[in-house]
Chain A
Amino acid sequence: MSTFKPRDWGSHAPFIAPGYKSTVLRGPTRPALAIQSGLTEGTGPRFAPAAVRKLDHDLTKNGVTNGEPIGERIVVHGRVLDTDGRPQPNIVVEIWQANSAGRYVHKVDQHEAPLDPNFRGSGRCMTDANGNYKFYTIKPGAYPWGNHFNAWRPNHIHLSVFGPGFATRLVTQMYFPGDPLLELDPIFLETKDAAARERLISKFSIEKTEEGFALGYQFDIVLRGRNATPMEN
């Protein structure tokens, strides 16, 4: 077993990022204490393929009650790899999102847009031996939120990844190319490094687009790599 490289803070937003107002009272104010990485940080949960059931990766089908969900059908392809380019096999990717009208199934979401009786908006998939994953869904709509006057979230899909260790845990959001709301969205912009932000935007792919069925997008997820030398016990 080897440990993981430290988190690259240049690729992430700070805990307190005033453009996103909720961070002001919720982010830790004191610096996180660095600790020597050990067994704890090098290990992490595994999941069996059975954790992902037959329709879990198809959000266009897994919430159906009486018909097809409304909206633009898409297929998202991606690869989970580490910063050294090593593909990460058997990694669970959990997914949740708003429907095509920009409304979440969550009871707390009171945005005045319709729920879709045929779309729940959650699912999961697992990477194959080469680190590839794929899921089908409906392109999520934009929606307003209370951060500032006329604030709207860009279209996005939430993704949660365990990775190979507890240290590599990642929750992120996948955005869509060409979305004019991105340059106005503090959640996106508080990642200060422009090159890092680009990694949050999926790429449209005509090769992944399925003829007559679904537009294709590619979204690769990069987790921290391992230290070159195995840890000393």
Chain B
Amino acid sequence: MAYGETPSQTVGPYFAYGLTAGQYGYDFSDIVTPTVAGSDAKGEHIRITGTVFDGENNRVNDAMIEIWQADADGVYSEKPVDVADTGFRGLGRCGTGTDANNRFWFDTIKPGVVEDAQAPFVNVIVFMRGMLVHAFTRFYFDDEAELNAKDAVLQSVPADRRNSLVAKRIQTPTGIEYQIDIHMQGDAETVFFDV
């Protein structure tokens, strides 16, 4: 290696007016929002929600979650991410400091299956004060049991921890919602990947 990597440092508690300004009401433009797919995007429109818990099972109110996913055809977008785009954007970012219950949420579409995977999933990065290095995880979908059973990455996870990666489908008055919490520690600790 010609050069060493720049070390990661924590996002800290004060990222909102730089990274999630619109969501938190600061006067600065956004380049990423919790909307991953606009209303014109092809596919089943869903909302993904969840809560981040620390090692004492307290809700984390200053985490930032990012997701990156394929479109309904299982293709990762090469089109620039644009917050004015009413179609598919592929990237989302949400802080946990504005919802009354400190949830994160993403308005998106259910992704298709990517060419080299077996089940649909969303890529996730977790950032927060108290993390010097961000953590990668994935969200799978509980109504895809058959495909999940064939997914090489999901099946490489010990069986008793697999559920930490699978979001639950719920019908709400406003549409389909998938719920999944992120547990940083404890018996229900989320599986994180060395990506």
Contacts and interface: CB of A to CB of B under 8 A. Distances in A.
B184 A222 contact: no
Interface string A106-138: 111100000000001111100000000000000
Chain A residues touching B, range: 35 or more
B117 A225 contact: no
Q: Size class of B's contact patch?
A: 35 or more
Contacts of A224: 5
Given A166-B123, A233-B116, A225 B8 contact: no
B192 A196 contact: no
Interface of B: 1-19, 21, 24, 26-29, 31-32, 54-56, 60, 62, 66, 68, 70, 76-82, 90-91, 97, 114-117, 123, 125, 127-136, 152-153, 156-157, 184-185, 189-195
Interface of A: 6-8, 11-15, 17, 20, 22-41, 43-48, 50-51, 53, 56, 62, 81-85, 92, 94-96, 98, 104-109, 120-124, 158, 160, 166-167, 169-173, 187-188, 190-191, 195-197, 199-200, 220-225, 233
Given A23-B130, A33-B157, A45-B81, 9 more contacts: A20-B130, A33-B192, A35-B194, A98-B14, A122-B21, A171-B8, A190-B132, A196-B5, A196-B7
19 contacts: A13-B7, A13-B132, A25-B55, A27-B131, A32-B193, A33-B192, A33-B193, A38-B114, A39-B76, A40-B68, A45-B77, A47-B81, A84-B1, A106-B13, A106-B16, A106-B17, A123-B18, A170-B8, A187-B10
